[in-house]
Amino acid sequence: MFGHFGKRRGSRMFDSGALRLIVLGLIAEQSRHGYDIIRALKHRFRGAYSPSPGSIYPMMQMLEEQGLIAPRDIDGRRVFDITEAGLNHLSERAAELARVQEQVDRSAAPRDDSDLGREMLAFRHTLFHRMREGGMSEEQSRKLGQILKTAREAIEKL
């Protein structure tokens, strides 16, 4: 239903293969460190998606172990470059990467005059802030669950 990303698996935007290709493609564009990749993805999605360091750093380590990227130290920061094997990997999967990037571009494209990404980010921030505050009563938790269920159902019907 959602192609390579946006699958209904918890809060994951990408399946691991698609995210891996996107990350490798970003490193092929220019040398990057982990936080730079997170920022680049957040920018591409207009703030609607920002991967956690817990998903990016292990992936980069895996890419390094596979010989697809190589680290170097720049001013105390670990920066990654794509290797020849990484370029070959991207070349072999160029059509898949193009398809995933097209899906990313479509999902991040502005709709009407609203900035969906900004609203999604604000919603997420508000929700997590409210939940972290603690002190929600059982009734408030129940109401919040119902609001989220209603919103999800309405979105599914679009």
pLDDT digits over 60-101, tens only? 999 999 999 999 999 888 999 999 999 999 999 998 988 888
Tell me which range, 2-11, 31-40, 109-118, is most confidently predicted by mean pLDDT: 31-40
Burial class (CB in 10 A: 0-12, 13-18, 19+), 65: exposed
Consecutive H or E run containing 77: strand 77-82
Of 26-30, 73-77, 91-95, 122-126, where does mean pLDDT reach its minimum? 122-126
pLDDT at 110: 59
